[in-house]
Each structure stands twice: as C-alpha cells, then as structure tokens.
Chain A
C-alpha cells in the first residue's frame, strides 16, 4: 500500500528539496537531469544528486513502513474471519503486505541506508507511514473496505510508479502491482456479499464505507497547492502524477463501484460533472489529516507499540540466529 510523501505541518516550512542542488557538480547534474528527462532508469551505483537520494530514501522507506504497519489492522481480523475461505485469503493478503515491505526496504537499502536505520527511524517516530493505518478496524466489513478502498487507492498511486526513474523502486512496484489487484478484488467481494445480505450486514458495509471513504481520499496526500516538493519530484520522475490528479481518478472509478452494490458514498457534495466528465466532490478535512500525520490518529500509539514490541521481543531470535551461523562457520573452518 502506498503512502505519499508525508510531513507534519511544523515541517512544512523547511527548505524545498531542490535547495541543495547548487552544491552539486553542474556537469554531472546536467547529465543526470537529461537521463531522467529521457525516461532512462537510474541504478544504485550511478551518480545522483544528494537531494534525489534523500527524497527517494524518504519516499521508499515511508512506503515500506506503510506496508509493514498495514499488516496490523488486518492481522487483527485473521482469527475472526467469518469462514475458512476468508481466513485463508486474509492470511495470504497480510503475508503479501509483509513481502511488499521487504521489496521496498531492499530497494531503499540500495540507496545506502541500512534496514536497521530505517526500522529505528520508524520506531522513534522520525519516519512517517500512511495515515490510513492509524484508524481502527472495528468490524469485519472494515476488512472489505480496506481491500476495496485502501488497496484501490494504493493501486492508483502505484501503477504510475512502475515507471519511476529509480530502477530498484520501479522493479519493486511492478511486483507489488501484480499482487495488489487480488487484494482489491477480495475486498470488493466482501463488500458485495455484505451489501447483498441481511439489513444488518448491509448496514455494516455502509458503516465501513462511511468511515473509510475520507481517510482513503487523504491517502493521496495534501492538495497540489500545498505540496511544495511535488514539482521537483515530478521532474525527477519520482512521482508521475500529482496528488489531486490521482485523487480525482480514484473518485471517478470508485463511485460507480459503490453504486453497483447499492452503497452510498458519504459526501453530500458528490455530483457528476458532465462538462468535466468527472465527479465533483466535497472538501477533505485536512486538519484531520495533519493531526493523524502528527500521530494523533485513534490507534497511532497502539500501532507503534505493536511494532516496537515485535522488534524488541524478536531481538534474541535475531541475535541467536547470527550467533548460530557464526558458530557453524567457525567449526567448518576448524574442520578444514
């Protein structure tokens, strides 16, 4: 699942990513810019401006953190899935999210930041992850809504990133996109079944849509006029579409999907605009978004506690495995 470049409001006035470019070797910079502009891929050992490396490390590691933290709200329902089939599917999906996190951490590591440094940044709160995972999963329908909306928004974001300029990131995106489409379809299927069920089930589906709709729209990040680094990221092909373009695209494809199963998108301002060939929709509550980025989401603390204790409780396993490998290596050498 995707996260857009996240900052909290206090960070908003830091200097733009392009600011350090003056310090770069102008000749190398020109060659680099020309390659990126020609849609060439940049590979790990190629020269790149420091600002490109930094922005990418931030974006890819945030993306990886989001995959890993994203396992928590869904993992919460594995033992309570309503049938064996649903349980199998959910297990496979959560395992996929773990895999996606690993592809992305590996891609970020090629930029020179170690896995441990990234994990530490997440646990200390310096690194952000997608705001969407700081909302609780209260009912089974939330698992449907997450697959349909959250993974749907992620796909919308990730498909263009398969052509992002950094090779390892683009390759990770290709794998992730291939796997993500089952995630969205299984979610929509859950909603479809609930929406066609008893009035209580229908109500549960509608309630989940009501709670997840706006947070899903927030996943695309702040509006374009409030996204200071977008222009630079677009120029470097780290982003391929603006936040608002993707958000609009998501609304346009998702509203008919809701209509088709008799669910109502919770936006009184939502209206088809014949002239634009798109839906007009209401204003997103950006104050809520920034509050969640700051860590004020309903379950933000719970999420981080779960991550940190998994990491700390697993420490002895990591150390023991390393000690075991070391001991075997030593005994092999002694035998030679």
Chain B
C-alpha cells in the first residue's frame, strides 16, 4: 500500500462579515489540491465565499480529559456576567 495523501481541515466563510468555520476534512497531496478538493466537496451549494485549508497535523487540540480543569473554573466566576450586579430599576441606560 503506497503512502496516503495527507489530511487537511477545511474552513469556510459563509459570507463576508462572518468568520471561517470548520466544516470537515479532505485528503490532498498539497495545499492547492486541498483547496480544489474542499471546493468540490464542501461548497457545491453556495455555502461560502472563502476557503481555508490547514494541515490536520498542524492542529494542537486541548485534551478532553483536561476539560474540567480548563473550562469549569469559569462557572464559579459569575461576577464576569452583567446579571451578577443588581442595579435599581430607576437607574436607566446601564
């Protein structure tokens, strides 16, 4: 079995003004081919106006096992949310 084409992650900007969003992946020999494959695979129905392709090997992801340590502390910092502060009704525009 010969070597597989590397994997690329595909990001599509649905329209200008929005950020690129991950939609899936493709195999391709190089970046140019990855763009072409992404175009054929993920934008057959006007899904976007711009494409990014990134080698999957270049992505570093957080470990799901660390999710609690990383993200749970946010739950006890409710003072980061505006509703934490009670302001009397008659004070306007705040």
Contact yes or no, A325 B29, CB < 8 A: yes
Cβ of B4 within 8 Å of any chain A Cβ, yes or no, is yes
What residue in chain B is nearest A45 (Cβ atoms)? B64
Contact yes or no, B30 A328, CB < 8 A: yes
Q: Per DSSP, are chain A's interface residues mostly helix, strand or loop, or mixed?
A: helix
Q: How far is the CA of A322 from the CA of B6 in the complex (A)?
A: 9
Contact yes or no, B2 A318, CB < 8 A: yes
Q: Residues of B contacting A325 with CB < 8 Å?
A: 29-30, 33
Digit string of A293-322 for contact with B (CB within 8 Å is 1, else 0)? 000000000000000000000010011011
Which of B38-46, B72-80, B85-93 lies on the face that meets chain A?
B38-46
Q: How far is the CA of A103 from the CA of B27 in the complex (A)?
A: 11
Contact yes or no, B24 A103, CB < 8 A: yes
Partner among B2, B26, B33, B41 whose Cβ is within 8 Å of the Cβ of A319: B2
Q: Residues of B contacting A102 with CB < 8 Å?
A: 26, 41
Partner among A47, A116, A172, A179 whose Cβ is within 8 Å of the Cβ of B4: A116
Q: How far is the CA of A71 from the CA of B44 in the complex (A)?
A: 17
Q: How far is the CA of A325 from the CA of B44 in the complex (A)?
A: 26
Cβ of A106 within 8 Å of any chain B Cβ, yes or no, is yes
Partner among B25, B30, B64 whose Cβ is within 8 Å of the Cβ of A106: B25
Q: How far is the CA of A215 from the CA of B64 in the complex (A)?
A: 43
Which residues of chain B (3-49) have a CB below 8 Å from chain A?
Answer: 3-5, 7, 24-27, 29-30, 33, 40-41, 44-45
Cβ of B61 within 8 Å of any chain A Cβ, yes or no, is yes
Chain B interface size, under 10 / 10 to 19 / 20 to 34 / 35 or more: 20 to 34
Contact yes or no, B26 A322, CB < 8 A: no
Cβ of B1 within 8 Å of any chain A Cβ, yes or no, is yes
- A70 shortest CB reach to chain B, Å: 17
Cβ of A241 within 8 Å of any chain B Cβ, yes or no, is no
Q: How far is the CA of A298 from the CA of B48 in the complex (A)?
A: 42
Q: How far is the CA of A46 from the CA of B67 in the complex (A)?
A: 10
Q: Residues of A contacting B61 with CB < 8 Å?
A: 45
Q: How far is the CA of A116 from the CA of B3 in the complex (A)?
A: 9
Contact yes or no, A318 B44, CB < 8 A: no
Contact yes or no, B7 A99, CB < 8 A: no
Q: How far is the CA of A315 from the CA of B5 in the complex (A)?
A: 12
Q: Residues of B contacting A115 with CB < 8 Å?
A: 4, 27
- B59 shortest CB reach to chain A, Å: 11
Q: How far is the CA of A303 from the CA of B6 in the complex (A)?
A: 28
Contact yes or no, B41 A315, CB < 8 A: no
Digit string of A117-132 for contact with B (CB within 8 Å is 1, else 0)? 0001000000000000
Q: Residues of A contacting B64 with CB < 8 Å?
A: 43, 45-47
Q: How far is the CA of A225 from the CA of B33 in the complex (A)?
A: 48
Contact yes or no, B26 A96, CB < 8 A: no
Q: Residues of A contacting B3 with CB < 8 Å?
A: 322
Q: How far is the CA of A10 from the CA of B29 in the complex (A)?
A: 41
Contact yes or no, B33 A321, CB < 8 A: yes
Contact yes or no, B1 A321, CB < 8 A: no
- A183 shortest CB reach to chain B, Å: 13
Q: How far is the CA of A322 from the CA of B4 in the complex (A)?
A: 9
Cβ of A114 within 8 Å of any chain B Cβ, yes or no, is yes
Q: Residues of A contacting B27 with CB < 8 Å?
A: 115
- A188 shortest CB reach to chain B, Å: 20
Cβ of A40 within 8 Å of any chain B Cβ, yes or no, is no
Q: Residues of B contacting A15 with CB < 8 Å?
A: none
Contact yes or no, A315 B2, CB < 8 A: yes
- For this complex, 16 residue pairs linking A to B, each with C-beta atoms less than 8 Å apart, are A45-B63, A99-B41, A102-B26, A102-B41, A103-B41, A115-B4, A115-B27, A120-B1, A179-B44, A179-B45, A315-B2, A321-B30, A324-B30, A325-B29, A325-B33, A328-B30
